[in-house]
Amino acid sequence: MSAHLHDNPAWVTAEPVLSVLIPFLRDDPEALIRQLDQEQTALAGRVELILLDDGTGDAALTDRLRAVLDGLALPARLITLAANEGRARGRNRLTQAARGRAYLFLDSDMKPDTPHFLRTWADLVMTDDPSVVFGGFSLDQAPIDARFAVHRALSGASECVPATTRALTPEKYVYTSNLLIRRDVFEAEAFDPAFSGWGWEDVEWAMRVSRRFPVRHIDNPATHMGLDTVKDLARKFDQGAGNFARVVALHPDIVRTYPSYRAARALKRLPGLPLVRPLIRQAAQADILPVRVRAFALRLYRAAVYAQAV
């Protein structure tokens, strides 16, 4: 696939130990990379940034980001694709450009919660050289608009949890939003390009990796700034049904322990589920209902969608 590379002046001579890999599609990562660049003095040349525009097709955005990169102190490269490759293929491509001995996958809609976010990761690589570590994410800086209230409720309850909780089922709480992977581990287990659309490619990767390498959790979080409306979340759940089916087929022993799987199995036995599913979705989108009720309805809708795959 056609790809255009743009390197900033600091790129050529850099010898990083950590490569920060930031894919994006129709998002603007400028705020994130400017914040990361504020740490450059403490990093002492140990970190590089690599961005992948996965087929946005916005020439104005590309030109502006090139100018931003040229002004950064951190070494940085922008890879611009002419067409979308997808989440798994795009992240695999990012690693091919990386020069560090570890990769930090960081989503473009994340915002580090501390001024020493990258230094914490770089120090960990230098001192411990861990195989896989997830830093966690929060909602501390996320927008509080009412239209995102259901997403906040879902994430706060099931995803934004401390490292001690995540470590109990380490493969379950692995997301490419803030994930450190040692180079040799990724060379042994890359993301599965058969996944398409939204969701599960990172969790499936963690299931594979956890059979061969230790998966650690620490508290070095970043805020997920890109909250969604209920309508957008429901659309993503629809897109993720095929990916969920692939995870079930590949790792039935692990997935069977997940509440989402058990709920999907239970709903599959419900007569008339295809007729009920749109009603559940309508309840989740009903602003008149309390947020906790809508969040429950959205979880139920997700299970109803996944019921098609189990």
| Region 3-227: CATH code | 3.90.550.10
Q: What's the whole-model pTM score?
A: 0.91
pLDDT digit string, tens, across residues 243-302: 888 988 889 888 888 888 899 899 988 888 888 999 999 999 999 999 999 999 999 999
Query: What pLDDT score does 289 carry?
Result: 96
d(CA 111, CA 255): 30
d(CA 122, CA 46): 7
d(CA 200, CA 174): 10
Evaluate whether 198 touches 158 at the Cβ level (below 8 Å): no
Exposure string for 10-35, b = 16+ CB within 10 A, e = fewer: bbeebebbbbbbbbbbebebeebbeb
Query: Which stretch, 21-30, 48-57, 196-205, 277-286, has highest mean pLDDT?
Result: 277-286
In this model, does residue 31 exceed pLDDT 90?
A: yes
What are the residue ranges of CATH 3.90.550.10 in the chain? 3-227
pLDDT digit string, tens, across residues 72-126: 999 999 999 888 777 778 888 899 999 999 999 999 999 999 999 999 999 999 9
Tokens standing for 142? Answer: 């996320």
Query: What pLDDT score does 44 carry?
Result: 84
In this model, does residue 1 exceed pLDDT 70?
A: no
pLDDT digit string, tens, across residues 131-177: 999 999 999 999 889 999 999 999 988 889 999 999 998 988 898 88
Largest CA distance in the chain: 64
d(CA 224, CA 226): 6
Give the DSSP H or E segment for 301.
Answer: helix 291-306
Query: What pLDDT score does 91 carry?
Result: 86
Evaluate whether 98 touches 190 at the Cβ level (below 8 Å): no
